[in-house]
Amino acid sequence: MDATDLSANRHSANVHAAIKYTDIYFKDGNIVLLAGMSYFLVHQGLLSRHSEVLDQLIRTMDNSLVLEGRPVLTLPDPSPDITHFLKAIYDGISFLTHDSQGFPTLSSVLRMLTKYKVHHLRNDILRALSVSWPTTLAQWDARETSVTAKAGTYTPLDALPHPIQIIRLAREIDYPPLLPSAMYDLSRITPRQVALGVESPITDRCTGLTYTDLLTVLKGRERASRFLSTFILNELEGRQPSRSCLHRKDTCRIAFEAIMFELLRDIGGIISNLTSDPLYAMSEAEKMHICDDPLGSETPSMKPCEPCRREFAMTVDAARVQFWGKLPEWFDIEVSTWG
């Protein structure tokens, strides 16, 4: 960022009407930061150490504006944003939470850390966010397990920020690695819900995607759905039993057919609050294969024998890995490390 953009000390008229922010006010401070109608008495050396942008602003600031005997640096940001930002610099980021309630504060801090180039704290927050919007399938599966209620109902919005908020934030701070999983996350609800956006808990206003991102998510959704259809056609329709099949009759072939019909009935939909989740659907197909007839008796069973189950499980695992690997391409996102 160009320091002149921030144009320090333009708002000198505010300085005498500004109110001291007592929680971030150090008597041994040697610089006053003015943001909106609040001021903070802080330490130049600390700010310069953490932020190269603030360091540059401090070096070039006009020292003629003084408050409480210290030079004043005026910042163009809203006072709550600077409050959270300074709190992060002085106290660390442990006060932030990653749930939907804590998201407005977390996103404010992340925007400020990005703007003022406080790299280490920004990286720490991004690492924590990546647990919920990850780049690997293993992390995604762990996340899904953590947000699925015991009854099997998928309830992410109680625990996590809405994916639309994550997509907007990732765009704003220019951090693409969050985008493929956030867009996939979003693509699992209906296109109508995607287009309607999400209501902000603070302003009660609806926030939606940009038109370009909306089209991208809907296009990615179609591609993901096509992958599942192809998987069903190639791997389940008319699937032959394993060469090591333990059943003599058609039991395993019939079992695969039953699984195919279950998938076609959209098992990921009504049952779990998800309308389109191929990753979930494929792993459910695998779970339907838990063998209750490992010795291969001739008792009729709708589940395949262990060798057939094992072969199909490997097929599902490979398909899920391939699916995950495609997400950046399907959602038109360039990421340097994925999968």
- Footprint on this chain of Zn ion (rule: CB under 5 A): 241, 245, 247, 252, 304-305, 308
Least separation, in Å, of the C-beta of 234 and Zn ion?
19
- 165 versus 251: smaller Cβ distance to Zn ion: 251
Least separation, in Å, of the C-beta of 291 and Zn ion?
9
- 167 versus 246: smaller Cβ distance to Zn ion: 246
Are the CB atoms for 98 and 129 separated by under 8 Å? yes
- 245 versus 281: smaller Cβ distance to Zn ion: 245
Least separation, in Å, of the C-beta of 295 and Zn ion?
12
Least separation, in Å, of the C-beta of 249 and Zn ion?
10
Q: What is the CA radius of gyration of the chain?
A: 27
- 262 versus 332: smaller Cβ distance to Zn ion: 262
- 92 versus 294: smaller Cβ distance to Zn ion: 294
CA angle 321, 326, 327 (to 5 degrees): 105
The H or E element containing residue 145 is helix 137-146
- 294 versus 325: smaller Cβ distance to Zn ion: 294
Least separation, in Å, of the C-beta of 309 and Zn ion?
8
Length of the chain, in residues: 339
Burial 267-293 (b: 16+ CB within 10 A, else e): bbeeebbbbbbbbbbbbbbbebbebeb
| Side-chain half-sphere CA neighbours of 137 within 13 A | 15
Q: Which amino acid is at 14?
A: N
Burial bucket for residue 120 (CB in 10 Å: 0-12, 13-18, 19+): exposed
Least separation, in Å, of the C-beta of 305 and Zn ion?
4
- Tell me the CA end-to-end span of the chain in Å, nearest whole number: 32
Least separation, in Å, of the C-beta of 270 and Zn ion?
30
Are the CB atoms for 338 and 183 separated by under 8 Å? no
- 285 versus 327: smaller Cβ distance to Zn ion: 285
- 65 versus 308: smaller Cβ distance to Zn ion: 308
The full DSSP string for 26-44 is: -TT--EEEEETTEEEEE-H
Least separation, in Å, of the C-beta of 231 and Zn ion?
20
Q: Which two tokens stand for residue 305?
A: 């024998």
The full DSSP string for 155-208 is: -HHHHS--HHHHHHHHHHTT-GGGHHHHHHHHHTS-HHHHHH-EE-TTT--EE-
